[in-house]
Structure 1
Amino acid sequence: MKTAGIRAATTARLAIATLGAAAVLLTSACVAQPGPAPTVEPEPTPSTSPASSAEPTTSASETPTTPRDSRRSSISVGVAPLLNGFNPHLLSDNNATVESIAKLVLPSVFRDGQLDTDLMVSAQEVEPVGAGYAQTVRYVISPTAQWSDGTPITGADFIYLWESMTRTPAVIDRAGYAAVSDVRTSDGGKTVHVSFAEPFPEWRELFTHLLPSHLAAPGGEDFATVLFDTIPASAGRFMVAKVDRARGVFTLHRNDRYWGQAPARTDVLSLIEVQSSVQGSDLLRSGQVSFLDVVPSEVAVQSYDLVPGTETRMITGPRQLELTLSTASPVLAEHQRRRELLGLLAPETGTITRLAAGRSADVLPAPPLPAVPEVENPQLLQLTAQQPLRIGADPADATATAAARTVRDILVNNGVTAEVVSTDLPNLASTLLPEGEADVVVSWRHLDDTALSAADTLLCPPRGDSFRAGNLSGYCTPETDAWLTDALTQGWAPADVSAWVERVTDVEHLRLPLLVEQRVAVLGEGIVVPDGELSEWQKGLETAATWRSADTSTRNEQGSIP
């Protein structure tokens, strides 16, 4: 609990932040050395995919497809290594590879703002169901929608995701699910009514990447680990068939139980982890991969540009590496001490960014902090002499760990005693940060262009919850919470909400942005993509269901494949 003096100071600072926000609103419409490139062994040719031993469910309107060529079409892609598991909702798992796999394998009510009409019959606001609710949304799931093991997709999958997102630390965009008050199902689970105590205009952002609840523990108890080894069932155009972590190869098969209008055009999609530009270039030269979506190195773009028959381009975001200061820290609970720490680190942001990324080329620093005023009475040296400043980072994340170690070195060189705490993000978010056993954390923040995503970084956790999700700093006041709640219920423009959040974050000295995610996409030979040249390609691996191998396309022109 904050003292009255601290509360008064916070309120004064918030008044400054609110005045700034009002101005915004008035002017706005609202490495290990790699060995040789791995050779991908050819997949066996089973008569059906592994989860298709039973006859797939079909509707009366479906007609049999023309038999395809006996050879299985396949495409191989180089990707960034996994951080941990395959759960796109966890901060500890989320990266470009996991996001792409999730879009190929897991169902979402809305995709790119449009209703997925393969999954859903409809999703619309209706008269509130039940007393005390301000808004209810009715979702009607397609009667043919099913998981790859034949289990129907139902409201149970909605409930599992809702409960899991509100009970699990270190998840992405928890605030939207916390706004849900009740979920009811009917019609055998195919109709779902989701109710909110307050209006929630951003309801279309919810229920993305549904998970197979029938293969998980009731109540979402295993949400943090259920997708660590694989995604056990699919409801997309592909399914995860094999995970070989030793070789860094993940094999996706065409989901033969997919009921939608446009099944995958390729039978096998192999994803190969790429550890270096040398390995990636070798894979392209040998024809073992036709596309790369990877983290660049110092000479990556030069290396890939030299490979004959390739096109390259840089992809920015949607993640940003940040140092977050915890308000529960015995060292940093006071605003003055957080300002003192950022005053030491902000001038060294460029160094931290380069050493974290491990390169000087193709590095995009995060927007700099406003000038941090000097502290008249520095105390960090004295405070940390008794208790070292503890910097948390997930050891599975090499970039975050490198940043944490660099921060530690900078502080020690300035006389501040500091140490790195290597542990996973769930442990940091559930225990170490809330209990004051870690003072700062280095992690990636997922940047969505939504008001919900911006608000999630400052909203107070629901009463009774001690763990942290999007708000890793733990900063919480009635004033900020009321403002953000109003912003979400009134549907304020994302840019306005983001500007207000950033202003409060700067005033309270809660965060040091470090590095904006940069990836390099390389289109080689061997596949035909829908958008032609890479420069015109708006999306990458997530569109793999529409790709054809060049060999398949040739045979198609000859009339062998429909």
Structure 2
Amino acid sequence: MRRLGGLLAAAVLCGAAAACTNAPPPPLVPASEAPVITTTGPKVTEVVVGVDDVAGGYNPHTLAAQSPITTALGSLLLPSVFRAGGDGTPQLDRNLMVSAKVTEAEPFTVTYTIRKDASWSDSAPIAAEDFYYLWQRMRTEPGVVDPAGYRLINNISAREGGKVVEVEFGKPFPGWRSLFANLLPAHLLKDAPGTWSNVLATGFPATAGPFQVRSLDEPRGEVVLERSDRYWEVPTTLDRVVIRRATHSAMAESLSKGDNQAVLLRADAADVNLMGTVEGLTTKPVPRNEVAQVLLRPASRQLADVTTRKAVVAALDRDALIAAGTQSGPSAQFRADSYVVPPSRAGYRATITGNTLDPAASEHLLTEAGYARTEGVWQKGGKALKLRIAAPEKVEPYVTLANRVRTQLAERGIDSEVVTPNAEDLFGKQLTESDVDIAVVPRVDAGDSAAGLASAYGCTDDAPDGATPAPANAAGFCDPAIQADVEAALNGKVLLADALARIEPLIAAQAVAVPLFQVVDLLAVLPSEVSGVDAGAPLAGVLSGAPEWRRLDK
């Protein structure tokens, strides 16, 4: 993909020669009568938001790219068929769509009608090929967010120049409204060199929304979005939104000076107190769509045995891990006591009680699994039990949590090491293999909890001859005992709550995951400077409401 740009330079050489003359010089113009020359243009109305980072990798469909900045840019720059409403339920985005509805029961078919004037920033129409491209990638690529719904699709066809899209499913899918959010420009990406991991790695080749990218400078830590002249709907009230990286102390200073109108940060108790020192500031928690968890992978050689996995879980102090990861910040109020539904979502019900730590049980289970403790270390056949713990490089709170897991295991005589590969390699490759025993990674919610259940804990079907097999879930977990209930919930044959009542105790018994807490950011706003800046729709991100933000006149 190339970036089009031009630099127009013009140099005008002017010379003047004064002739020899006895004529008097022209009279001076009194200052009061001199013309006023202004060099300033019209005032730019902008809102500046401070953030922790603007690191690259902006594909909202990959686990590797999950971050507040990815959520923010996706909500403003990419088109979505449905967007979360104020109560979290999906609402048809009529800025993009004319309609989207189930048109046949057998086979289950959804027909989407796209507005004829909806187009990408390069004037290419938003059309069926964008739906097709996303479907193909989501059903076959590893490390994507909630692929289960896309894997139910059998075919996508188009008519009326690609503006009417018919999606045929192999089975009913009540959660179909969660699909086709953050569409990508297929006309630019489908034949582009590189892999899926390179899509939106450093920027956006085309956008389709009320804002467009004026500049995206990752080294400087700044993204400048400006009103899009190509947007076909009502223009934004703001000329510009600036997203700027800063330390937490610099954020507080910028707010106190009025240089920033808002900040969004991953805060601990000290940061909450710091923001409390800024006069006139209002704060509120903003849950992300991710839950921090510890995955014990049955796909690994060391933890293929459930008894060994149970022993490792009993060696972990879940309460201490939650305390270390939240640091008494906003996340501390969002303890995740469910294997599937995040605490901030409707339908959340706590099913995990008590702490996991039980040293006596851990020792008993390791002995049962054939290990013996020799010189303080658990061994089998003369070989020490040594586990590889992986977390995405430089991504918090996961790296901190991974090191705490290693420390806790060491206290119980279980040797381990922490590795921190880059996120793309971890999610796109290493979690499809058997080298990682424990993964400290997010579980991401894309909007439909039944699809989230199937994506995180469901089995994948064998691929037909010649087809690319669907990647397994991040844990490499498949339990036929729960698969029927997983599929029944996904297809709407049973209520999700009823399915979870049966499934979650079985997931716990398999010792596959230890949920910790939902990651929650702190939003701080100066209401004297700007209106409309709020937490946004559930899991949609603060900047999802930016088209309605307004700067207040002094």
TM-score of Structure 1 vs Structure 2, range by shorter chain: 0.7 to 0.9
Structure 1 residue 369: deviation in Å? 5.4
Structure 1 residue 315: deviation in Å? 2.5
| Cα separation, 2, equivalents of 1:51 and 1:105 | 20
Q: Which has the larger radius of gyration?
A: 2
Equivalent positions of 1:499-538 (< 5 A) are 499-524=501-526, 527-530=529-532
| Cα separation, 2, equivalents of 1:316 and 1:516 | 7
Taking structure 1 as reference, are residues 392 and 426 closer, same or farther at Cα in structure 2, changes over 3 Å only?
A: same
Name the residue aligned to 2:48.
Answer: 76
| Cα separation, 1, equivalents of 2:192 and 2:220 | 34
Matched, 1:101 2:40: no
> Which shows bigger deviation, 381-390 or 472-481?
381-390
Q: 1:360 aligns with which of 321, 328, 351?
A: 328
Matched, 1:402 2:393: no
Structure 1 residue 343: deviation in Å? 0.4
Secondary structure at the counterpart of residue 73 of structure 2? helix
Structure 1 residue 102: deviation in Å? 1.0
Structure 1 residue 518: deviation in Å? 1.9
Structure 1 residue 475: deviation in Å? 1.3
1:123 maps to amino acid: A
Name the residue aligned to 2:495.
Answer: 493
| Cα separation, 1, equivalents of 2:103 and 2:527 | 50
Name the residue aligned to 1:178.
Answer: 151
TM-score by length of 2: 0.79
Is the CA contact (8 Å cut-off) linking 1:528 and 1:549 kept in structure 2?
yes
Taking structure 1 as reference, are residues 418 and 507 closer, same or farther at Cα in structure 2, changes over 3 Å only?
A: same
Matched residues, number = 476
Taking structure 1 as reference, are residues 426 and 451 closer, same or farther at Cα in structure 2, changes over 3 Å only?
A: same
Taking structure 1 as reference, are residues 213 and 500 closer, same or farther at Cα in structure 2, changes over 3 Å only?
A: farther
Q: 2:281 aligns with which of 303, 310, 324?
A: 310
Taking structure 1 as reference, are residues 220 and 206 closer, same or farther at Cα in structure 2, changes over 3 Å only?
A: farther
| Cα separation, 2, equivalents of 1:300 and 1:472 | 33
Matched, 1:454 2:457: no
Taking structure 1 as reference, are residues 542 and 351 closer, same or farther at Cα in structure 2, changes over 3 Å only?
A: same
Name the residue aligned to 1:193.
Answer: 166
Taking structure 1 as reference, are residues 498 and 316 closer, same or farther at Cα in structure 2, changes over 3 Å only?
A: farther
Secondary structure at the counterpart of residue 290 of structure 2? strand
Higher share in helix: 1
Secondary structure at the counterpart of residue 197 of structure 2? coil
Name the residue aligned to 1:482.
Answer: 484
| Cα separation, 2, equivalents of 1:210 and 1:449 | 17
Structure 1 residue 307: deviation in Å? 0.8
| Cα separation, 2, equivalents of 1:286 and 1:488 | 51
Q: 1:259 aligns with which of 232, 237, 249?
A: 232
Kindly provide the CA deviation profile for residues 475-499 of structure 1, in whole angstroms up to 9, marking residues without a partner as x. Answer: 1133422221122212543434444
Structure 1 residue 134: deviation in Å? 1.9
| Cα separation, 2, equivalents of 1:527 and 1:232 | 33
Is the CA contact (8 Å cut-off) linking 1:230 and 1:243 kept in structure 2?
yes
> Which shows bigger deviation, 240-249 or 207-216?
240-249
> Which shows bigger deviation, 475-484 or 421-430?
421-430
Query: How large is the Cα RMSD of the aligned pairs?
Result: 2.8
Secondary structure at the counterpart of residue 127 of structure 1? strand
Taking structure 1 as reference, are residues 452 and 219 closer, same or farther at Cα in structure 2, changes over 3 Å only?
A: farther
Structure 1 residue 536: deviation in Å? 11
1:366 maps to amino acid: A
| Cα separation, 2, equivalents of 1:75 and 1:390 | 44
Name the residue aligned to 1:558.
Answer: none
Is the CA contact (8 Å cut-off) linking 2:385 and 2:414 kept in structure 1?
no
Where does structure 2 lack aligned partners over 5 or more consecutive residues? 7-40, 85-89, 338-351, 372-377
> Which shows bigger deviation, 216-225 or 226-235?
216-225
2:379 maps to amino acid: Q
Q: What is the identity percentage for the equivalent residue pairs of Structure 1 and Structure 2?
A: 30
Is the CA contact (8 Å cut-off) linking 2:485 and 2:499 kept in structure 1?
no
1:450 maps to amino acid: S
Taking structure 1 as reference, are residues 223 and 422 closer, same or farther at Cα in structure 2, changes over 3 Å only?
A: same
| Cα separation, 2, equivalents of 1:427 and 1:173 | 19
Equivalent positions of 1:80-95 (< 5 A) are 80-82=52-54, 84-95=56-67
Taking structure 1 as reference, are residues 387 and 337 closer, same or farther at Cα in structure 2, changes over 3 Å only?
A: closer
Secondary structure at the counterpart of residue 419 of structure 2? strand
Taking structure 1 as reference, are residues 537 and 522 closer, same or farther at Cα in structure 2, changes over 3 Å only?
A: farther
Secondary structure at the counterpart of residue 269 of structure 2? coil
Equivalent positions of 1:43-62 (< 5 A) are none
Taking structure 1 as reference, are residues 136 and 369 closer, same or farther at Cα in structure 2, changes over 3 Å only?
A: same
1:342 maps to amino acid: V
Is the CA contact (8 Å cut-off) linking 2:236 and 2:548 kept in structure 1?
yes
Kindly provide the CA deviation profile for residues 500-550 of structure 1, in whole angstroms up to 9, marking residues without a partner as x. Answer: 44322211111111232121111115643248xx69998732111111222
Name the residue aligned to 2:104.
Answer: 127
TM-score by length of 1: 0.78
Structure 1 residue 467: deviation in Å? 6.9
| Cα separation, 2, equivalents of 1:536 and 1:212 | 25
Name the residue aligned to 2:379.
Answer: 382
Secondary structure at the counterpart of residue 171 of structure 1? coil
Q: 1:279 aligns with which of 242, 247, 250?
A: 250
Is the CA contact (8 Å cut-off) linking 2:532 and 2:550 kept in structure 1?
no
Secondary structure at the counterpart of residue 193 of structure 1? strand
Matched, 1:212 2:185: yes
Taking structure 1 as reference, are residues 500 and 427 closer, same or farther at Cα in structure 2, changes over 3 Å only?
A: farther
1:188 maps to amino acid: G
Structure 1 residue 296: deviation in Å? 0.7
Structure 1 residue 153: deviation in Å? 0.4
Name the residue aligned to 1:433.
Answer: 431
Taking structure 1 as reference, are residues 304 and 549 closer, same or farther at Cα in structure 2, changes over 3 Å only?
A: same
| Cα separation, 1, equivalents of 2:500 and 2:241 | 38
| Cα separation, 1, equivalents of 2:174 and 2:313 | 36
2:82 maps to amino acid: F
Is the CA contact (8 Å cut-off) linking 1:239 and 1:255 kept in structure 2?
yes
